């Protein structure tokens, strides 16, 4: 499942995938894979991304259920 919330939050901070990757200590490809839904980040990486984007885990990584 694509993480559009992460992509939107990153864009809202005017950060490229490369810039966010550098802030959290991973490769640009890792950020791309998370946004595309091809990679499930560790909880530590999730927390680092949230801190960098000033968002909560719920705001970026919680999947809404359909019912």
Q: What is the CATH number of the domain that holds 28?
A: 1.10.260.40
The H or E element that residue 16 is part of is none
- Give the domain range for residue 18: 4-55
Q: What is the pLDDT of residue 65?
A: 64
Q: What is the pLDDT of residue 1?
A: 81
Cα 25 to Cα 63: distance, rounded to the nearest angstrom: 25
User: In the 8-state DSSP scheme, what is residue 62?
Assistant: P
**Residue 62 covered by a domain:** no
Q: What is the pLDDT of residue 62?
A: 87
Q: What is the pTM of this model?
A: 0.90
Domain count, the chain: 1
Closest Cα partner for 10 from 42, 22, 44? 22
Q: What is the pLDDT along the chain (67 residues), one digit of tens a residue?
A: 899 999 999 999 999 999 999 999 999 999 999 999 999 999 999 999 999 999 999 999 987 765 5
**Residue 63 covered by a domain:** no
Largest CA distance in the chain: 38
**Residue 60 covered by a domain:** no
**Residue 64 covered by a domain:** no
- For the beta carbon of residue 42, count every other beta carbon within 10 angstroms: 8
């Amino acid at each position: 499942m694509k993480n559009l919330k992460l992509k939107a939050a990153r864009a809202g901070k005017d950060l490229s995938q490369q810039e966010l990757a550098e802030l959290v200590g991973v490769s640009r490809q890792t950020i791309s894979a998370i946004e595309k839904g091809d990679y499930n980040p560790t909880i530590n990486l999730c927390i680092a991304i949230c801190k960098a984007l000033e968002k909560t885990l719920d705001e970026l990584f919680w999947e809404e259920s359909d019912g």
